[in-house]
């Protein structure tokens, strides 16, 4: 038997392999809700414009509602021979209401249908991801407030650089995730044009009201060019690009958490809820969740690349290649949501070891810059000269196997005789962070203020949602 919906000009049915390569129902059934909502908006418009009668429109809408209920209840039978979600729904509509079901597809095509469904799906996902990003930001900001004054070493090149606070470090990620959220909401704005009514590619001769369907589906407007409407997937690409960048941020935080939790660093402890044991080594507390968050960046960034390659050589308008747009998006956005949830849980539960952090911040000559700054401020030396002197003092400390701040004054004075006892306060890690009061700097007072500002803002964002 040929396809009952498009099989009019065929005599033989597709081969099994053809069915297998052609069918998308196994994955696009995810679009069922959006597909039915878009069909309801379409048929309501067909009724209002008199393209179908009010009675027909009502009958079709009732059938669609029933299908929605069947799917919700898990009672709907998806069929591969019906290719995709659109034909599955339409075919069931025929079973339910008879030939009038055939009027639903007036003045539309699966091309504008799928472009609409997919936009609706991605728009919902963006909403969920933005909320998840906000939740992670809030968890980070709360920890940051709690540990605004907790001294730890800051690194560049993963070498001890200068003391910072744990709170400051966490707030760096709050900033990054804030930009991620911005990228997602920007993508949602550009996505807000409704393709429905573009039909196959050229528009339609029926007197449709595209603004009405656009409005009904919550789009800002109808897309202005029918070819563009059915043939671009830039909204999905843009969302995947935002996802890839967000995943990269999560991955960096995950990487840091893995380092911090290693016994060699001993900066943090994860809760049992986000740790696994080893089947052979009883002592282990493995940060698997963080590692998996880090690893998921691969498939998320890969999804962007995969879809970009699908799209890059396609002539206008629709080509079946574009059916391959969905799986990477589904997979990547699922992975990102899971990663965000896991990361939020980890952050909420993480416990820093303040003494280990402080100890590390006080070693590795982390306050060598403070020494140079002290020489500039108190002896009026040019910074370059002060840097030289501080460098010689660090070398001396190293040769003595001592930390900078434990060197006796006589040793300091053997390099620069004008150094006085006061220098020691500059060599203290806490004193160092307290002095970094420049805008955006790590001083605990700054961190506290910024953390509070973020918490207030993030809690307000939740209300407006």
Burial code (b: 16+ CB inside 10 Å, e: under 16) for 178-212 equals eebbebbeebbeebbbbbbbbbebebbeeebbbeb
Q: CB-wise, 231 or 446, nearer to ligand ARG?
A: 231
157 catalytic per annotation:
yes
Q: CB-wise, 110 or 249, nearer to ligand ARG?
A: 110
42 catalytic per annotation:
no
Q: CB-wise, 39 or 111, nearer to ligand ARG?
A: 111
Smallest gap from Cβ 207 to ligand ARG, in A, equals 24
Q: Distance between CA 322 and CA 115 in Å, rounded?
A: 10
Q: CB-wise, 110 or 134, nearer to ligand ARG?
A: 110
Smallest gap from Cβ 123 to ligand ARG, in A, equals 17
Smallest gap from Cβ 18 to ligand ARG, in A, equals 13
Catalytic choice (79, 105, 157, 271):
157
Which whole-number Å values give the CA distances from 198 to 297, 314, 322, in the listed order?
Answer: 36, 18, 17
**Residue partners of 22: CB distance under 8 A and separation at least 6:** 14, 83, 320
Q: Tokens 């993030």 label which residue?
A: 458
Smallest gap from Cβ 31 to ligand ARG, in A, equals 9
**Chain contacts with ligand ARG (rule: CB under 6 A):** 24, 28, 84, 110-111, 114, 318, 320, 322-323
Phi, psi of 75 (to 5 degrees): -105, 0
Q: CB-wise, 199 or 361, nearer to ligand ARG?
A: 199
Catalytic choice (109, 262, 278, 414):
278
Q: CB-wise, 309 or 462, nearer to ligand ARG?
A: 309
Tokens of 314: 């396609």
Residue pair 247/297 in contact (Cβ under 8 Å)? The answer is: yes
Smallest gap from Cβ 28 to ligand ARG, in A, equals 6
Smallest gap from Cβ 225 to ligand ARG, in A, equals 18
Q: CB-wise, 90 or 450, nearer to ligand ARG?
A: 90
Smallest gap from Cβ 213 to ligand ARG, in A, equals 18
Question: Beta strands 151-156 and 159-165: pairing type?
Answer: antiparallel
Q: CB-wise, 84 or 238, nearer to ligand ARG?
A: 84
Q: CB-wise, 184 or 318, nearer to ligand ARG?
A: 318
Smallest gap from Cβ 317 to ligand ARG, in A, equals 9
Smallest gap from Cβ 122 to ligand ARG, in A, equals 14
Residues assigned a catalytic role = 157, 278
């Amino acid at each position: 038997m040929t396809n009952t919906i498009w099989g009019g000009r065929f005599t033989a049915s597709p081969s099994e392999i053809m069915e297998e390569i052609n069918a998308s129902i196994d994955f696009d059934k995810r679009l069922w809700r959006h597909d039915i909502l878009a069909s309801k908006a379409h048929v309501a418009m067909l009724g209002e414009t008199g393209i179908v009668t009010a009675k027909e429109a009502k009958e079709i809408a009732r059938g669609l509602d029933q299908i929605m209920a069947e799917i919700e209840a898990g009672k709907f039978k998806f069929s591969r021979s019906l290719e995709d979600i659109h034909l599955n729904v339409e075919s069931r509509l025929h079973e339910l209401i008879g030939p009038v079901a055939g009027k639903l597809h007036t003045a539309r095509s699966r091309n504008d249908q799928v472009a609409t469904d997919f936009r609706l799906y991605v728009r919902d996902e963006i909403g969920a991801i933005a909320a998840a990003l906000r939740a992670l930001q809030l968890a980070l900001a709360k920890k940051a407030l709690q540990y605004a004054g907790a001294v730890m070493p800051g690194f560049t090149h993963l070498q001890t650089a200068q003391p910072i606070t744990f709170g400051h470090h966490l707030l760096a990620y709050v900033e990054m995730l804030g930009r991620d959220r911005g990228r997602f909401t920007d993508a949602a704005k550009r996505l807000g044009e409704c393709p429905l009514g573009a039909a196959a590619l050229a528009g339609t001769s029926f007197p449709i009201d595209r603004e009405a369907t656009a409005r009904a589906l919550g789009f800002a407007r109808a897309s202005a060019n029918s070819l563009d409407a059915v043939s671009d997937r830039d909204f999905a690409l843009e969302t995947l690009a935002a996802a890839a960048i967000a995943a990269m941020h999560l991955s960096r935080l995950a990487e840091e958490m893995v380092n911090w939790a290693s016994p060699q660093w001993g900066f943090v402890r994860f809760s049992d809820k986000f740790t696994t044991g080893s089947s052979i080594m009883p002592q282990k507390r493995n940060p698997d969740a963080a590692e998996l968050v880090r690893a998921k960046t691969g498939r998320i960034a890969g999804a962007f690349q995969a879809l970009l390659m699908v799209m890059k050589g396609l002539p206008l308008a629709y080509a079946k290649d574009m059916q391959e747009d969905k799986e990477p998006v589904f997979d990547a956005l699922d992975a990102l949501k899971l990663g965000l949830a896991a990361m939020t849980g980890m952050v909420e539960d993480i416990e820093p070891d303040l003494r280990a952090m402080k100890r590390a911040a006080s070693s590795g000559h982390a306050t060598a810059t403070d020494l140079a700054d002290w020489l500039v401020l108190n002896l009026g030396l040019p910074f370059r000269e002060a840097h030289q002197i501080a460098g010689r003092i660090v070398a001396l400390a190293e040769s003595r196997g001592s930390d900078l701040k434990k060197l006796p004054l006589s040793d300091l004075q053997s390099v620069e005789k004008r150094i006085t006892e006061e220098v020691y306060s500059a060599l203290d890690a806490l004193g160092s962070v307290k002095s970094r009061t420049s805008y955006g700097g790590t001083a605990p007072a700054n961190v506290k203020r910024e953390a509070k500002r973020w918490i207030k803002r993030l809690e307000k964002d939740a209300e407006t949602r």
